[in-house]
Amino acid sequence: MVRHVTLIGLIAFALFGFEAVKPANAAVPLTGEGSAAVVINLADLLANEPGLPLPVRQSYEALNAYYQEEAGPLLWIGSDRMVTLVERLSTAQVDGLDQADYPIDKLAEFADIAEETDIRGKAIIELYFSAAFLEYASDLQVGRFLPRKVDPNFFLQAREIDPLAALNGALTADDLNAFFDNWQPQAQAYANLKQALAEYRALEAIGGWPAVPLGDALKPGMSDPRVPALRARLAVTEGVAASAPPGAEELYDDELVAAVQTFQVRHGLEVDGVAGNQTMIALNVPIEDRIEALVVAMERWRWMPADLGSDHLLVNIAGFDLRFVRDGALTDHMAVVVGKPYHKTPVFSDKVQTVEFNPYWNVPASIAIKEELPKLRSNPGRLAAQGFEAVQGNRVIPVSAVNWGRYGPGNFPFQLRQRPGPRNALGQVKFLFPNKFNVYLHDTPSRSLFSRPERAFSHGCIRLSRPIDLAEEVLALQGGWSRERIGGVLASGERTVVKVETPLPVHITYFTAWVDNGQTNFRSDIYEQDEKLVAALAGKTIAW
């Protein structure tokens, strides 16, 4: 028996899961006039039907612009795009999204009955498909949440899709999947994460990896009954042989040591080849957690600016590193120190405008009062020897000439600063991109911290392991600045500010998962920002 569906039945099914009901009248064939009639009904539904789901109502302006103002043809009714969209949404996990966020079953049912329903029914089906398409297109390109809604330390500029461009793109694309592939973030880093996600999900499907019993550290050459479990674990992700040579099943041999070192590199651990406590803990992280980290990283890439700039700096807080990209290619990669968990380095994008050699350190008021004032009270001579001085208006005052016991919070009328010199906290150079957080890149006289695997020790600014190299690379973009010229300026000891002729984009990011040279890397969630995003994703409201 042929089934026909009315508007009432469609809304009942969509909102409450009721079975669609038959109308009294037969469906109207979709001729040219029929198509126009569907569009008229679309406009009426958008304007007057309160029972439409929230995503449809939220997309009113775009849907009205496409169907009414631009007189765009129907996208879904009478097209195989309906089936393609349902299939794409059914595999949303491939894109690091959640198919449960979309009304897949309802859309599949609507696709089955689209030809059998009347004009009014066709109109509501068209709206449902367009709204679901726009929701998925938005999730895929710019993410499911505004960054600041998830974490107040994310200050990336909120992005929105152009919904009318999306609808027209779907119309003109030869294939809807090709449209989505071009619509998603085009950064190679995103594509690498998507591939890694597929690989880790494939591992999950066959059982993931076995656990390794905890215990004393395994050192090269040792024999231990836990070694077979370690080998089995490393065979899954590091490519070691699943079986040891006969008689050496419990030997922690050179092959396993090399595999552990590779694993340690990928997870930001001390690379010593010793399977100690931290390495064992990382080995035993469930594959579900690693998949979660990849999904979170893909979401964060959707928050990033669509165009990073052919030349740019990319700082990864969780990875403790900085990358210099020139003409779209990675040309340098260096270790950095970032903010402590209670002095978080914020996530934002800006542009380097000046490079300052032999800088002063203008001590932020909070640091001056909380950290430096007690030292000034007890031993001002020590800070004087380190180059500190007080500034009040146009006066520069030796710190030893001030009775610091008279001052405190709410009563500190000085700018405390440190003169250029070998003990200056900013070292020999800093890179300024003026921002409300007072965050910048800079040198440091404290070099020992760069040898540590985790480097969250600053008050929020980013310390560079090779700042002079970076100065040379940044200033090479405008010419006239050789290594020798930079060396001469530094040797002078004079503060020198160089304006960057074409401001250089800098992106301060937070990724606990990424891919380098085909190797998937994971890091600790030092600021617990993954945890917040995972909670937000798990609680996402489905408005259908």
Structure tokens belonging to residue 518: 């085909």
Helices (H), 143-187: 147-150, 163-172, 176-183
SS3 assignment, position 450 = helix
Structure tokens belonging to residue 260: 């552990």
Structure tokens belonging to residue 181: 């592939």
- The DSSP output letter for 94 is G
Structure tokens belonging to residue 52: 């439409």
Question: How buried is 395 (Cβ within 10 angstroms: 0-12 exposed, 13-18 middle, 19+ buried)?
Answer: exposed
Decide: 332 and 542 in contact? Cβ < 8 Å.
no
Q: How far apart are CA 366 and CA 527, in angstroms?
A: 21
Query: Could you give the count of Cα atoms lying within 13 Å of 325 in the half-sphere of its Cβ?
Result: 18
Q: How far apart are CA 336 and CA 253, in angstroms?
A: 34
For residue 8, the model assigns a pLDDT of 40
Minimal CA–CA distance to 224: which of 234, 213, 240, 211?
A: 213
The pTM for the full model equals 0.90
Q: How far apart are CA 408 and CA 411, in angstroms?
A: 5
In the block, tokens 């068209």 appear at 126
Give, in degrees to the nearest 5, the angle at Cα 187 between 181 and 191. 60
Task: Give me the count of residues in the chain.
Answer: 544
- Structurally, at CATH architecture level, domain 309-359+424-510 sits in Beta Barrel (2.40)
Helices (H), 72-143: 81-90, 104-113, 119-142
Q: What is the pLDDT along the chain (544 residues), one digit of tens a residue?
A: 333 344 444 444 443 333 333 333 333 445 677 788 999 999 999 999 988 889 999 999 999 999 999 999 999 998 999 999 999 999 999 999 999 999 999 999 999 999 989 999 999 999 999 999 999 999 999 999 888 888 887 888 888 999 999 999 999 998 999 999 999 999 999 999 999 999 999 999 999 999 999 999 999 999 999 999 999 999 999 999 999 999 999 999 999 999 999 999 999 999 999 999 999 999 999 999 999 999 999 999 999 999 999 999 999 999 999 999 999 999 999 999 999 999 999 999 999 999 999 999 999 999 999 999 999 999 999 999 999 999 999 999 999 999 999 999 999 999 999 999 999 999 999 999 999 999 999 999 999 999 999 999 999 999 999 999 999 999 999 889 999 999 999 999 999 999 999 999 999 999 999 999 999 999 999 999 999 999 988 887 666 8
For residue 150, the model assigns a pLDDT of 82
Q: Are strands 329-339 and 395-398 parallel, antiparallel or unpaired?
A: unpaired
Could you tell me the residue ranges of all domains in the chain? 7-181, 309-359+424-510, 366-419
First to last CA, the chain: 29
Longest dimension (CA), the chain: 99
Give, in degrees to the nearest 5, the angle at Cα 356 between 350 and 357. 150
Query: Could you give the count of Cα atoms lying within 13 Å of 170 in the half-sphere of its Cβ?
Result: 26
Structure tokens belonging to residue 7: 């508007």
